Structure 1
């Protein structure tokens, strides 16, 4: 059995979804209540592969909302993720994906050091961040959508914003090793990590955002949008492909300009309908019966393949070979990158 450990985009969204799911005691409560609310299994899921194989899963709502981080409640956020992991393990889920901020919290707060949650000793091989599949899907979106737009990678400049993160560094490795992209622009906050990545790749120009954007034919955004930072579409090349790999995804709404094409990065579409309620209720996908985050799909793929291991784990551990491996499983079972813009 696979698990999806998720959360909603904000408190208002969480209240709305709680009402739809039949949790009225959650729906009318404020942030303090949500800080103390326990995790819940709120959906039973069936996924069918194009091979005919069927698997069962559970959606675990962590009851985390991003306002907890915004109001300085880091310890609460940590507790939410750990409690959700323990809840999944307690219910016999073999492999669970940490979705959205859950994986970020796990890495930033070093939760791998927190092995005990009350009477449960966490078995980390039961959990995956899903970042390997997300990175693979983003790279395939770059390759396939650029071709549709007539952007030739062997002549293109690709800017990766968030280049030193787990997903960003993996994207850089793939573009360097598996494409003939002409130029890589590396953007991140910490110069030491940027220099290490540049040395590893043996290429790439370290730039700040304002300098890089006007030069880029393709922008891969896999970083948190700093408060007050906005992308001015008038400075971008035309055409420009912008892959929005952040969460929540809002660039398609905020950036509407002729010649700028925004793709929701790290989203896959399954070939067959998925039997679940949660994606239809949370209203985050255009086709909720088939579309989902690639990180969630990673736990499904690991269940299909019976690979019960923390496939994606830690920072900057994603290799091109692992991306190819999860990519082969993705194609085998009927998942494909979302290519619409």
Structure 2
């Protein structure tokens, strides 16, 4: 059985969803009430692969909302409590979605394996970052040529290059795609230098310097609310993959010739009878989902119950090959720019 741990995109959205589900005592409460609310298993689902295999799953709402990010102890407790619930329900492999995986890594929750009387079994959980990284790379490879961008001659900027997903994207694009030049952007200089040495190339640039040079921008870092991008300095055409969370890049760079694609999202080959993706505001909630969620499903389809994506910078090309092959085999395709065909390439 697979599990998905998620949350609503805002406090108001969470209250609306709680009301729809009949949790009026939570829906009518203020943020302090929500801070103390326990996680809820809100939906069971059955999914059949393109291979014909059927698996069972469950969605757990952590009752976390982005407005709680500044409350360190609350955010930490929300994620750990949701993981405890998943384990108590006997779920074999559970994906941490949205901010829950970010909180787990940034707040170093590996130090908190004991939740009340439960010892969390790490092998039951995955961040889903390997599948997310693979999907973003395929989105670059599928969509750039359709815009007339030759990746063999292109400069690709990876913003957040030293993160778990960003570093994996750099490894893939450097060795498998063979892009002409990688522009490495991140906050800390030393990890950037270590990544460049690992890759055997790439240029370290500031965001301000990298953007005007990039034919493709892969954005896998948190975007500051105050950030302003001068679209007149960007190349056209320019493909921008919004692989961060929340996905708000399209509102920042709306301009002719700038093509923004929501990164790390996949579409299943048939409808799934669930309502959980409506919380994530997917365009096709019956088929589309975050790639991190799909990773748990893929691991269940493959009977590969392990913390497949775990720890920073542990994503290998071999793991990306494995999860990418499973993704295609079981009926997932990458989300593409509108007007372009869906692509599933092994």
- TM bracket, shorter-chain basis: over 0.9
Tell me if the contact between 2:8 and 2:280 (Cα under 8 Å) persists in the aligned partners: no
Matched residue of 1:47: which SS? strand
Matched, 1:306 2:303: yes
What is aligned with 2:17? 17
Tell me if the contact between 1:49 and 1:272 (Cα under 8 Å) persists in the aligned partners: no
String of CA shifts for 1:23-49, please: whole Å, max 9, x gaps: 122222221111100000011111111
User: Closer, same or farther in 2 for the Cα pair 1:57/1:202, shift >3 Å?
Assistant: same
Alignment size in residue pairs: 338
Measured after TM superposition, the shift of residue 200 of structure 1 is 0.6
User: Closer, same or farther in 2 for the Cα pair 1:232/1:30, shift >3 Å?
Assistant: farther
Matched, 1:4 2:14: no
Matched, 1:289 2:270: no
What is aligned with 1:236? 234
TM-score between the two structures when normalised by the length of structure 2:
0.96
* In 2, Cα distance between equivalents of 1:156 and 1:340: 19
What is aligned with 2:57? 57
Matched, 1:41 2:41: yes
What is aligned with 1:258? 256
TM-score between the two structures when normalised by the length of structure 1:
0.97
* In 2, Cα distance between equivalents of 1:284 and 1:255: 20
In structure 1, stretches of 5+ residues that fail to align are: none
Pairwise CA RMSD:
1.0
What is aligned with 1:325? 322
Measured after TM superposition, the shift of residue 283 of structure 1 is 5.5
In structure 2, stretches of 5+ residues that fail to align are: 339-346
* In 1, Cα distance between equivalents of 2:324 and 2:77: 32
Matched residue of 2:324: which SS? helix
String of CA shifts for 1:222-281, please: whole Å, max 9, x gaps: 00012311222222100000000011112223432110000000000000111212123x
Measured after TM superposition, the shift of residue 92 of structure 1 is 0.5
* In 1, Cα distance between equivalents of 2:219 and 2:309: 20
What is aligned with 2:147? 149
Matched residue of 2:173: which SS? helix
* In 2, Cα distance between equivalents of 1:43 and 1:127: 19
Matched, 1:31 2:28: no
Matched, 1:207 2:189: no
* In 2, Cα distance between equivalents of 1:121 and 1:237: 51
Tell me if the contact between 2:9 and 2:280 (Cα under 8 Å) persists in the aligned partners: no
What is aligned with 2:104? 106
* 1:85 aligned residue (71, 83, 86): 83
Measured after TM superposition, the shift of residue 9 of structure 1 is 1.4
Judge which range, 16-25 or 49-58, deviates more.
Answer: 16-25
Matched, 1:337 2:334: yes
Matched residue of 1:33: which SS? helix
